[in-house]
Chains A and B, each alone.
Chain A
Amino acid sequence: AQKITQTQPGMFVQEKEAVTLDCTYDTSDPSYGLFWYKQPSSGEMIFLIYQGSYDQQNATEGRYSLNFQKARKSANLVISASQLGDSAMYFCAMREGLGTGFQKLVFGTGTRLLVSP
């Protein structure tokens, strides 16, 4: 079974609009972390935002926020006021067993976001 599912292969948004990129996850571990990374066409992986499974509030970092719905096992990324530079591939990732010494990130297949003027 897929641990991380990103069902939107591509998304389009106009500049200055908000966009939501979907991510659902599957785990039976009560302790986990969810991450979003941005991969521009240049190829590097840029960390955007983190949400811990025990965090009471949704994470926010500037224009990025994470809509964390634990019961639905979803961790959608919301980008407000899109900019042309937001055009990139976006990956959702999960790490299970926080604090146990297991460190690997499991990634989804990504969503390609295109921001148009």
Chain B
Amino acid sequence: EPEVTQTPSHQVTQMGQEVILRCVPISNHLYFYWYRQILGQKVEFLVSFYNNEISEKSEIFDDQFSVERPDGSNFTLKIRSTKLEDSAMYFCASSWASGGASDTQYFGPGTRLTVL
């Protein structure tokens, strides 16, 4: 069964460093998303991406964040200068469409980011 994959599973970085989180969405999906979950809290939307551009973003997704689809399979989230409060689990998700039952978003296993 197709699935979303994410690498690395755990990333430890120093405050101020840049990190790139990688995702391979399900191959025939067209919409891609990043969410984050701070430990013990609910899952929060960061950004959605379609047709090589951001279609929606949250207030959390400020200038420190960027997303890219560098090739036909990968989808990346870059945090330019990490802060302590960026420590969280980051989930990538993908969906085939954006309306009705077919818009179910399938999540990857997550990358746990720890900023020291």
Binding site for B on A (CB under 8 A): 33, 35, 37, 42-47, 50, 52, 91, 93, 95, 98-99, 101-110
Identify 24 residue pairs between A and B in the complex whose beta-carbon atoms are under 8 Å apart, listed by A's number: A43-B89, A43-B109, A45-B93, A45-B110, A47-B105, A47-B106, A52-B100, A91-B42, A98-B98, A98-B103, A99-B100, A101-B56, A102-B98, A103-B31, A103-B33, A103-B48, A103-B50, A103-B98, A103-B103, A104-B48, A105-B43, A107-B42, A107-B43, A108-B42
> What are the nearest 10 A-B pairs in CB distance?
A99-B99, A45-B107, A104-B45, A44-B109, A107-B43, A103-B48, A107-B42, A109-B42, A98-B99, A103-B98
Chain B interface SS verdict (over half): strand
What is the CB-to-nearest-CB distance from A104 to chain B, in angstroms, rounded to a whole number?
4
Binary interface profile of B, 33-73, with partner A (CB < 8 Å = 1, else 0)? 10100000111110010100001101000000000000000
Most chain A CB neighbours (cut-off 10 Å) among B101, B105, B107, B112:
B105
In contact, B55 and A101 (Cβ under 8 angstroms): yes
> Which residues of B lie under 8 Å from residue A52 when comparing CB positions?
100-101
Partner of A33, one of B35, B56, B103, B107: B103
Q: Are A101 and B98 in contact (CB-based, < 8 A)? A: yes
Annotate B12-36 by CB proximity to A: 1 below 8 A, 0 otherwise. Answer: 0000000000000000000101010
